[in-house]
A = this chain, B = another copy of it.
């Protein structure tokens, strides 16, 4: 897993390409983030992008590599569970653009959608298992939390809707925390049709 490769003279360029790719994919989605546009932003020739990363798809895979780092439930006081989680998710979305990229691409490109499923299955569901009680319930709990967090992130960070983008963070947390907390801790209504 480690990379004992010696530093290459082209490392700066490789990094510039990766940075430019992050920016273009996040802002424009997969199709409109062309290899030429990425190269232009990185200040090099389009052929270098392919030479160093092989393929546009491979470059994209390098860009969307995210660790959610959901906190350990044992370190959270029960009464502020929702608050801590919402704050953590907002931090994630604001720290860098990788989640914006993932959402933007996942909606239109199959590779992006699969990457989203990976993150959900490998990180969100296991976290829900650590929080919840019934492991069979974890995917549903994780999905509910994801629905609220993704919806808000869509409006605030992707579409940048006025009311969503301008709401002060503290107020946002106050609104969402009870929702997230209930999705994790409330007893299942279990289709009381």
Contacts and interface: CB of A to CB of B under 8 A. Distances in A.
B174 A189 contact: yes
Interface of A: 28-29, 31-32, 103-104, 106-108, 113, 116-117, 120, 139-140, 142-144, 146-152, 154-155, 158-159, 161-164, 167-168, 170-171, 174-175, 178-179, 182-183, 188-193
A72 B170 CA distance: 32
B107 A158 contact: yes
Copies of this subunit: 2
What are the nearest 4 A-B pairs in CB distance? A151-B151, A170-B193, A174-B189, A29-B108
Contacts of A191: 168, 170-171, 174
Among A147, A148, A178: residue with most chain B CB under 10 A: A147
B163 A142 contact: yes
Contacts of A158: 107
Given A120-B161, A163-B139, A163-B142, A154 B107 contact: yes
A154 B153 CA distance: 12
Given A107-B158, A154-B154, A170-B193, 5 more contacts: A120-B161, A140-B167, A146-B155, A151-B154, A174-B192
Among A151, A164, A189, A190: residue with most chain B CB under 10 A: A151
Among A106, A143, A190: residue with most chain B CB under 10 A: A143
Contacts of A107: 29, 103-104, 107-108, 154, 158-159
A155 B159 contact: no
Nearest to A192: B174
